[in-house]
Amino acid sequence: MEEFKKALAIVATLVVVVIVGAFVWTLLEDVGPPRPVTVKVTLVNKCELTDEVFMVKVMPYGATATFHNKVAVVEAMSNQRVKLVANSKYHDFHFEGEEDTAARSITLTAHCDSSARFESTAKSMRKAFD
């Protein structure tokens, strides 16, 4: 019985060491100089607008990409942020949405509700198509 307890303690210790090691490895991956990353952005559109009116922008003055089948791909550095914005094709449409740190795969959601923000967005969208 004592040998079983020792074996169990060793196994439990190894499991803890592996979990802690994996956690530390993940933290160390983010340390260091910024590196280039191809960001695949998936759009969750909760607006009554087509996906075409949105695009992603690397902040603050970086590359942009439009959505095709709810996905946009843009090049960024790992320390940059990617933001959901209005497609520059629609000059009178203004929208600023979620943003997230650049990573291989992120999801951004376009929120349009009955708030004043949505009213402003809808008004500028209607004006863009007049």
Domains of the chain by residue range: 1-31, 36-129
Domain 36-129: which CATH class? mainly beta
Sign of CA dihedral 37, 42, 47, 53: positive
pLDDT in tens, the chain (130 residues): 788 877 777 887 888 888 877 677 666 666 678 899 999 999 999 988 899 999 999 998 889 999 999 999 999 999 999 999 999 898 888 888 999 999 999 999 999 875 545 555 565 566 555 5
Residue 57 bridge partners (DSSP): 64, 83
Give CA–CA dist 65/40, Å, rounded. Answer: 10
Give CA–CA dist 37/79, Å, rounded. Answer: 10
